[in-house]
């Protein structure tokens, strides 16, 4: 994200507490769902999908949001479970 937006401050803010980050309403809905998928996917309901549609996302977009959240849950689990360490270069990228 630092590479794409050149906005390290926004990335840090989203990591710390995205509810206080200066992002659009539909992006907040997107992140609410992504975090729910992460913390408690078994508690997701059709109402969560309706909330994303109400925020302006299409069904294709909801698929992408869910796949992207699942992708990082996958890689995070591999990294946490097997002691993966990122390159030191990452910390300076986009800063």
Residues interacting with another protein, by CB under 8 A?
Answer: 1, 4-5, 11, 14-16, 18, 23, 27, 30-31, 34-35, 37-39, 57-58, 60-61, 64-65, 67-69, 71-73, 75-80, 82-87, 89-90, 93
- Which residues, including other chains, have CB under 8 Å from residue 43's CB and lie 6 or more apart? 36
- Minimum CB separation of residue 28 from another protein in Å reads 10
Tokens describing residue 7: 């906005």
- Minimum CB separation of residue 30 from another protein in Å reads 7
- Which residues, including other chains, have CB under 8 Å from residue 78's CB and lie 6 or more apart? 84
Tokens describing residue 76: 């995070």
Rounded distance between C-alpha atoms, residue 52 and residue 36, angstroms: 13
Q: Residue 5 or residue 44: which is nearer to another protein going by CB?
A: 5
- Minimum CB separation of residue 42 from another protein in Å reads 15
């Amino acid at each position: 994200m630092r590479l794409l937006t050149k906005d390290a401050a926004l990335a840090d803010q989203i990591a710390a507490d995205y509810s206080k980050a200066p992002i659009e309403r539909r992006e907040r809905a997107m992140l609410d769902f992504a975090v729910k998928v992460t913390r408690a996917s078994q508690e997701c309901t059709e109402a969560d999908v309706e909330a994303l549609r109400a925020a302006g996302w299409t069904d294709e977009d909801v698929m992408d949001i869910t796949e992207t959240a699942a992708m990082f849950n996958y890689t995070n689990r591999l990294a946490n479970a097997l002691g993966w360490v990122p390159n030191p270069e990452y910390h300076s990228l986009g800063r």
